[in-house]
Structure 1
Amino acid sequence: MRESESFPGLHAWLDTPLGRYVMAWEASCLDGLVADIFGYNAAQLGVPEFDFLRANRMPLRFRAGAGDVAVEADHAALPFAAASLDLVVLPHVLEFAANPHQVLREVERVLVPGGHVVIAGFNPASLFGLKRLLAGRDGSYPWRGQYLSLRRIKDWLALLSFETGSQASGCYVPAVEQQQWIERLRGLDWAGGRWWPIGGGVYVIHAIKRVQGLRLITPKWDRKAGARALAPLVQKTGGSARRPSGLHRGITRDDEPAA
């Protein structure tokens, strides 16, 4: 089973005029974002029909469900080792997942410290969100599932020790399916981006995994080695060597009392 069929019907909608309009905006946004993220291994989970890693330059880029070999990826139990990925892209996974918070926990597990996650989702506080409410629970894709607000996503990311980076919102055209109406209403993208910057139909948010409690370990001062290093200076000057400027009376080792 291909990964895209985890959410039946979503991949068919992506080929509609409205779906192509949404994917075009997301591709433009993600291209600029992932191009500046470096590392070794990157993975895209969800929407395998579109390559959102194409602008990234990591040597290994994996898109679940794409390519000659179809791979089924359980988003709540990812088939990757802990701390093995530098970048994970999640386009429209969380709003249709049975347990979106568990998906984020798995992403946190597989990312290296300092690793990146990029999430694209449908915005409940938008005209797309209104269409979802009107469609009800039995609506077709993508007008179903649980649309998650940016605020909730940020709260979940903070609980998992992620630091939120940039975010963007786009696609202000109402959820109309006819290409001619999408073209006529494209002026709303300019107006919405200026007057309602968080009200677009979709959003993209970037976050970085931070590891709390890390501290820098520095070598202890070796008195014998220091004495040997200072001996030539003492012999040459015929007197006692001065303390190095960084070793004054206020800085001592933990096991050495101050003079």
Structure 2
Amino acid sequence: MLKPAFREKAVKPPQHWQQLACGSWLKDQVEQQLAEECKRLYGYHFARVGCLSAELSLPQFAIAHQFSVAAALHEQVQVQAKSSDWPFAEASLDAILAVGQLEFEQDPHQVLRDLSRSLIADGKLIYVGFNPLSPNLLTSLWPGKMKQYPWSGRYFTKARLVDWLTLLNFEVTVERYFAPSFLLERWGLLQTGAERLFNVLPQCGTLYLVIAKKREFPLTRITARQKQRQLRPNLQSAPLANQTQPKEY
């Protein structure tokens, strides 16, 4: 049975990639995955959620206005606000990027609802999350590792995130795992083993990427029978009293 996503206390998210185990390597992996995807973004306003998203070096793309939003003070953050108290109006953003944000939130469902509300129709939500099926969780069993980043956060599976987005009327267009690793800098043999395991089981990647497009559906569902009635021509027979009767002479 799955545990509820809501947690009693929020965990302070990392403010720099260097705070994560193998943080510089993870940052490079995320930038490589987003390089091609960003070329497909269009619109006017693009928001990055969290300090990790703010520090990413992304290529130039068609959205001119980019800004970062985070609760903590950061030199690359332009708007200081909590993602649980999202300050943007409805249908005001064309795309949103978040990296490892839900793992440290108190109420991930509320965060996704707020992000969805601020997206325009066909707007894109790009999320990079930590995979709970990755073998790097074995590293967290070492003494003192559980209190370090990224293991101090709560991981959610990619399938669970996709279910949440589907309930919010999102269409998932991209989903994949990447960056296999035990997140150990000195164990080259283990890194090689993680990469070989990833070739057989891609679900063992350290991170996953999900890109979803917001869809707007009609509130009233039209059944097949109602649709046939609408397409059927409205033919009415004339009353008997108005029908022309042959005359006898």
User: Structures share a fold, TM > 0.5?
Assistant: yes
- Matched residues in 2 for 1:44 and 1:32: separation? 17
The one of 184, 191, 197 equivalent to 2:202 is 197
Matched residue, 1:236: none
Matched residue, 1:64: 69
Matched residue, 2:245: none
Matched residue, 1:10: 14
Matched residue, 1:90: 98
The one of 40, 43, 49 equivalent to 1:39 is 43
Aligned residue identity for 1:119? Y
Contact 1:14 1:23 (8 Å CA) reproduced = no
Aligned residue identity for 1:34? C
Displacement of 1:136 in angstroms is 8.0
- Matched residues in 2 for 1:111 and 1:134: separation? 41
1:181 aligned onto 2:215: no
Give the 3 Å change call, closer, same or farther, for CA 42–204 of structure 1 in structure 2.
same
Task: Could you tell me which runs of 5 or more consecutive residues in structure 1 were left unpaired when the two chains were aligned.
Answer: 1-5, 216-249
Secondary structure of the residue aligned to 1:25 is helix
1:113 aligned onto 2:121: yes
Displacement of 1:161 in angstroms is 0.7
Secondary structure of the residue aligned to 1:87 is strand
Secondary structure of the residue aligned to 1:207 is strand
Secondary structure of the residue aligned to 2:66 is strand
Task: Could you tell me which runs of 5 or more consecutive residues in structure 2 were left unpaired when the two chains were aligned.
Answer: 1-9, 221-230, 239-249
Matched residue, 2:32: 28
Matched residue, 1:145: 153
1:129 aligned onto 2:137: yes
Aligned residue identity for 2:34? L
How many residues align? The count is 215
- Matched residues in 2 for 1:69 and 1:52: separation? 14
Aligned residue identity for 1:97? E
The one of 69, 82, 103 equivalent to 1:74 is 82
Secondary structure of the residue aligned to 2:204 is coil
- Matched residues in 2 for 1:164 and 1:20: separation? 28
Matched residue, 2:213: 208
Contact 2:27 2:56 (8 Å CA) reproduced = no
Aligned residue identity for 2:32? S
- Matched residues in 1 for 2:237 and 2:120: separation? 41
Q: TM-score, normalised by structure 1?
A: 0.71
Secondary structure of the residue aligned to 1:165 is strand
